[in-house]
Amino acid sequence: MAEATVKVFRGNKGGGQSVEFKVPVAPGMVVLDALHYIQGHLAPDLAVRWNCKAGKCGSCSAEVNGRPRLTCKTRMDALPQGEPITVMPLKAFPVIKDLVTDVSWNYKVNKKITPFTPKAGADWKFYQDDVDRVQEFRKCIECFLCQNVCHVLRDHDKYEQFGGPRLFVRVAGLEMHPMDGVSRTKVLKDGLGIGLCNITKCCTEVCPEDIHITDNAIIPLKERVVDQFYDPLVWIVRKIRGAAS
């Protein structure tokens, strides 16, 4: 049976190093299968997160050959053959152990966002078109790969001021919800620092759910912020028009 060399980060917040493992390769195998093989046969204490093994839960994120990926959806046969595969933890979050990082920050920031608040007197009749418009944002599986590549977090450490692409996607899913009745522009501007995003689109490139994070979530949200805080008249006119149409 063919064999692959997999170099996996072993260590904790105090540091660590890549450790090489030889793993037998089966057809269609994904990187997570290789990690499971290592756990089951070579290093039972290898720390890895996973749940669904089908790209639905967003647990198994790591950097494979330097690219942020879901390991359960990264096929071994799609990686350069005959070369070692490196698997590293997400860089933007502190390592707990091996491939497991501390992503609790995301849950904390999420609390800043005003929850879904239905319009007063809503009759709950709305149409597939209304739903389709927001579906994209609600597909997010919270894999945090986008957070991991965003330079505002990864390189500039703006964890206090910035929410990151995942949280913008979440706000978009609420703001464009057909029955939602509140505005989150203030929290976008102040709490989540959307102005710090300079539209590099790195987040969009890595999203395993193909959410057009920058074009469909961030840019329209930025426009809302600009309209409200820098041109209130335009904003009011749009709101009224929007409500009338």
Partner 1 sequence: MSERFETHEHDVLVIGAGGAGLRAAIEALGQGASVGVVSKSLLGKAHTVMAEGGIAAAMANVDSADGWKPHFRDTMRGGKLLNNWRMAQLHAQEAPERVKELEQWGALFDRTEDGRILQRAFGGHTFRRLCHVGDRTGLEMIRTLQDRGVYMGFDVYMECTIVRLLTDGGRCAGALAYWRETGRFVVFKAKSVVMATGGIGKAWPITSNSWEYTGDGMALAYEAGAELMDMEFVQFHPTGMVWPPGVQGILVTEAVRGEGGILRNKSGERFMERYDPKRMELSTRDVVARSIYTEVKEGRGTEHGGAYLDISHQPAEYVKKKLPSMYHQFKELADVDITKGPMEVGPTCHYMMGGIRVEAETAQSSLPGLFAAGEAAAGLHGANRLGGNSLSDLLVFGRRAGLAAAQHAKEVSAPNLDEGQISAGESEALSAFQRQGGENPYAVHRDLQKVMQSLVGIFRTGEDMQKALSELAKLKERAAHTSVEGSRMFNPGWHMAIELKSMLTVSEAVTRSALVRQESRGAHSRIDFPELSPEWGKKNNIVWHDGSAMGLRQETRPEMRAELKEILAEDQ
For residue 44, give the 3-state DSSP assignment: coil
| Residue 26 makes contact with partner 1 by CB under 8 A | yes
- The four Cα atoms 143, 178, 227, 108 give a dihedral, to 10 degrees, of -30
What tokens were used for 2?
């063919």
Number of residues that bind ligand SF4 (CB under 6 A): 29
Considering beta carbons, is residue 41 or 56 the nearer one to ligand FES?
56
Stretch that binds partner 1, among 111-119, 186-194, 197-205, 222-230 (CB under 8 A): 111-119
- Asked if residue 81 binds partner 1 (CB under 8 A), the reply is no
Nearer to partner 1, 142 or 196 (CB): 142
- 167 CB-side CA count, 13 A: 29
Task: Return the residue of 2, 40, 51, 118 that touches ligand FES, per CB under 6 A.
Answer: 51
Q: How far is CA 14 from CA 19, 95, 96, 227, in A?
A: 16, 9, 9, 46
- Of 36, 49, 166, 224, the residue at the interface with ligand SF4 (CB under 6 A) is 166
> Among 40, 137, 128, 46, which residue's Cα sits nearest to residue 87?
46
The verdict on 27 binding partner 1 (CB under 8 A) reads yes
Task: Determine which residue in the list 33, 36, 37, 58 makes contact with ligand FES, applying CB under 6 A.
Answer: 58
Residue 141: C-alpha distances to residues 3, 67, 169, 170, 184 (Å):
32, 18, 11, 11, 22
Among ligand SF4, partner 1, ligand FES, none, partner that 202 touches (CB below 5 to 8 angstroms by kind): ligand SF4
Q: Does 54 bind partner 1 (CB under 8 A)?
A: yes
Rg (CA), the chain: 21
- Footprint on residues 87-146 left by ligand SF4 (CB under 6 A): 140-146
Tokens of 182: 């509140």
**Position 148, amino acid:** N
**164 burial level (CB within 10 Å; 0-12, 13-18, 19+):** buried
Q: Can you tell me which residue has the tokens 């999203």?
A: 207
Write out the two tokens for 227: 């309209």
Using rule CB under 6 A, residue 228 touches ligand FES: no
Q: Is 177 in the site for partner 1 (CB under 8 A)?
A: yes
The interface region with ligand FES, picked from 18-26, 58-66, 104-112, 170-178 by CB under 6 A, is 58-66
Rounded Cα–Cα distance for residues 30 and 12 (Å) = 25
By CB under 6 A, name the binding residues for ligand SF4.
58, 140-146, 149-150, 152, 165-166, 169, 197-203, 206-209, 211, 213-214, 218
By CB under 8 A, name the binding residues for partner 1.
12, 26-30, 33, 39-41, 43-59, 73, 75, 96-98, 100, 102-104, 107, 110-111, 115-116, 118, 124-128, 130-131, 134-135, 138-139, 141-142, 174, 177-180
